[in-house]
């Protein structure tokens, strides 16, 4: 089984690339972030044409997450329990082929010390509580998404430059460790230990070509699924060419 996560940074803009990528790679499950469309504007028909059921939790212009599945899927939750209908669309939990799949778009936080930074840390506290209440580490859980956190020094192109900055501050990294501490495994680090394995590069300053990236997109697995994790790939080719997202897809292959 192939499970992927990809922050497409607007599904409208990226749809041709997404469809071509799905045809080429044929993942079984895809978690999308930053779809940036209301639910009634999501391209259900185009994805159904490739054999994918789509579950969505979207909003106009900002945020938005989705789960695509070839085997069909059932939505369990589209927001945290304490959020109202006007909540930012950052979470979709689905049942797919016996798995609990979570597509997560963690808040960016904008700047350390800002109101948005405080919101980010609070959101992760509430998400951790949701995880504790709604799932168990001995179940088959896949947490995918753009978490907007680079967990370790090797996940940043210049740790000293980024130290204490947004996506790399100590409280954010502690929030990531809290997720791992619940009972998750970082799929990439099951197979590869080196630095330089980035998933996001700023559009500005030629960051991609200069290797100025961060690893902020993750696929986290409970132990039973981690034991089946055959390989993990960051598809850097999707950061190249015309109109790419600023994120690359991450693809995990689980043994049957």
* 124: annotated active-site residue: no
For 123-234, strand residue ranges (E) read: 141-146, 185-186, 200-201, 213-214, 217-221, 229-234
pLDDT (mean) for 54-59: 98
Give me the catalytic one of 146, 155, 186, 246: 146
Residue 176 is predicted with a pLDDT of 99
Residue 207 is predicted with a pLDDT of 98
Q: What is the pLDDT of residues 175-202, one digit of tens each?
A: 999 999 999 999 999 999 999 999 999 9
Give me the catalytic one of 52, 105, 117, 124: 105
Residue 248 is predicted with a pLDDT of 99
pLDDT (mean) for 74-79: 97
Residue 85 is predicted with a pLDDT of 76
Mean pLDDT of the chain: 98
Q: What is the pLDDT of residues 193-234, one digit of tens each?
A: 999 999 999 999 999 999 999 999 999 999 999 999 999 999
Ranking 23-27, 79-83, 146-150 by mean pLDDT, the lowest is 79-83
CB 190 within 8 A of CB 218: no
Model confidence at 84, in pLDDT bands (50, 70, 90)?
A: confident
* Residue 49, domain extent: 2-254
For the chain, strand residue ranges (E) read: 2-7, 29-33, 53-57, 65-69, 74-77, 91-96, 99-105, 141-146, 185-186, 200-201, 213-214, 217-221, 229-234, 250-254
Q: What is the pLDDT of residues 97-132, one digit of tens each?
A: 999 999 999 999 999 999 999 999 999 999 999 999
How many domains are contained in the chain? 1
Q: What is the pLDDT of residues 142-173, one digit of tens each?
A: 999 999 999 999 999 999 999 999 999 999 99
pLDDT (mean) for 51-79: 97
CATH number at 237 reads 3.60.10.10
Q: What does the alpha-carbon distance between residue 179 and residue 156 come to, in Å, rounded to a whole number?
A: 20
User: What is the phi/psi pair of residue 84, to 5°?
Assistant: -90, -175
Q: With a threshold of 0.85, does the pTM exceed it?
A: yes
CB 65 within 8 A of CB 88: no
Percent of the chain with pLDDT over 90: 97
In DSSP terms, which residues pair with 143 in a beta bridge?
Answer: 102, 220
Best CA proximity match to 76, nearest among 157, 134, 12: 134
Model confidence at 32, in pLDDT bands (50, 70, 90)?
A: very high
Residue 7: burial class (beta carbons within 10 Å; 0-12, 13-18, 19+): buried
Phi-psi region of 64 (alpha: psi -120 to 50; beta: other; left: phi over 0): left
* 39: annotated active-site residue: no
For residue 235, give every residue at least 6 positions away whose Cβ sits within 8 Å of its Cβ, in sequence order, or none: 21, 25, 248, 249, 250, 251
Model confidence at 25, in pLDDT bands (50, 70, 90)?
A: very high
Q: What does the alpha-carbon distance between residue 192 and residue 210 come to, in Å, rounded to a whole number?
A: 22
């Amino acid at each position: 089984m192939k499970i992927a996560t990809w922050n497409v940074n607007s599904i409208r803009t990226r749809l041709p690339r997404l469809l071509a990528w799905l045809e080429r790679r044929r993942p079984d499950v895809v978690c999308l972030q930053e779809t940036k469309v209301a639910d009634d504007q999501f391209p259900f028909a185009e994805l159904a044409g490739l054999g994918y059921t789509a579950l969505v939790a979207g909003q106009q212009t900002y945020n938005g997450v989705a789960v695509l599945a070839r085997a069909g899927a059932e939505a369990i939750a589209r927001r945290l329990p304490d959020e109202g209908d006007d909540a930012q669309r950052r979470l979709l939990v689905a049942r797919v082929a016996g798995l609990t799949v979570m597509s997560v778009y963690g808040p960016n936080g904008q700047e350390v010390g800002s109101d948005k930074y405080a919101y980010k840390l609070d959101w992760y506290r509430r998400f951790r509580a949701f995880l504790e209440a709604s799932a168990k580490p001995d179940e088959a859980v896949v947490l995918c998404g753009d978490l907007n956190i680079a967990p370790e020094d090797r996940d940043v192109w210049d740790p000293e430059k980024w130290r204490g900055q947004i996506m790399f501050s100590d409280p954010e990294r502690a929030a990531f460790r809290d997720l791992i501490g619940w009972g998750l495994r970082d799929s990439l680090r099951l197979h590869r230990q080196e630095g330089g394995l980035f998933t996001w590069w700023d559009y500005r300053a030629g960051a991609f070509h200069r290797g100025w990236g961060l690893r902020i997109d993750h696929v986290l697995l409970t132990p039973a699924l981690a034991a089946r994790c055959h390989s993990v790939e960051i598809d850097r080719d999707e950061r190249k060419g015309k109109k790419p997202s600023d994120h690359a897809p991450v693809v995990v292959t689980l043994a049957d």
